Chains A and B, each alone.
Chain A
Amino acid sequence: MIDKLTLYMSFPYVRYALIVGVFIALSSSLLGVTLVLKRFSYIGDGLSHVAFGAMAVASVLKIANQELLILPVTVLCAIVLLRTGQRAMIKGDAAIAMLSVGSLAFGYILMNVFSASANVSGDVCSTLFGSASILTLTKDEVVLCAVLSAVVVVMFILLYNKIFAVTFDENFSRATGVRADVYNLMIAIMIALIIVISMNLVGSLLISALVIFPAISAMRLFNSFRGVTIFSAVLSVVCAFAGMIISILTGTPVGSTIVVTDVLAFAIISGIGAIKGGA
Chain B
Amino acid sequence: MALISIKDLALGYDRMTVADGINFEVNEGDYLCIVGENGSGKSTLMKTLLHLQAPISGSIEVGDGLKADEIGYLPQQTVVQRDFPASVWEIVLSGFQSHMGLRPFYTAEEKKIALENMAHMGISEFKKRSYRELSGGQQQRVLLARALCATRKVLLLDEPVSGLDPKVTAEMYELIKELNDSGITIIMISHDIQAAVRYASHILHIGKEVYFGTKEEYVNSEEGRFFLRNGGDLA
User: Which residues of A does B touch, CB under 8 Å?
Assistant: 33, 37-39, 157-162, 164-165, 167-169, 171-178, 218-219, 222-228
* Interface, chain B (partner A; CB < 8 A): 50-52, 67-69, 71-73, 75, 78, 80-81, 83-87, 89-91, 93-95, 97-98, 100, 104-106, 128-130, 132-133, 146-147, 150-151, 156
Output the least CB separation between B164 and chain A (Å): 19
Q: Are A169 and B104 in touch, CB under 8 angstroms?
A: no
- Tell me the complex Cα distance, A65–B81, Å: 42
With both chains docked as a complex, state the minimum distance between the C-beta of B171 and any C-beta of chain A, in angstroms.
Answer: 22
- Residues on A with beta carbons closer than 8 Å to the beta carbon of B75: 169, 171-172, 175
Q: Looking across the interface, which residue of chain B has its beta carbon closest to that of A222?
A: B85
How many A-B contacts if CB must be within 8 Å? 102
Please state if A175 and B104 are interface contacts (CB–CB under 8 Å): no
Verify B85–A33 contact, CB threshold 8 A. Answer: yes
Is B86 a contact of A174 with CB atoms below 8 Å?
no
Collect the chain B residues with CB atoms within 8 Å of residue A158's CB: 104
The answer to whether B52 and A171 have CB atoms under 8 Å apart is yes
Check A226 against B98 for contact (C-beta < 8 Å).
Answer: no
Closest Cβ of chain B to A220, distance in Å, is: 9
Chain B residue contacts of A33, Cβ below 8 A: 85
| Contact partner, B73, options A165, A172, A224, Cβ 8 Å | A172
Interface centre among A39, A160, A161, A218 (most CB of B within 10 A): A161
Contact assessment for B86 and A175 in the assembled complex, using a CB-CB cutoff below 8 Å: no
Whether B85 contacts A165 by the Cβ 8 Å rule is no
A176-B95 in contact (CB<8A): yes
Which residues of the other chain, A, contact B100 by a CB distance below 8 angstroms? 161-162
List residues of chain A with CB within 8 A of the CB of B95: 176
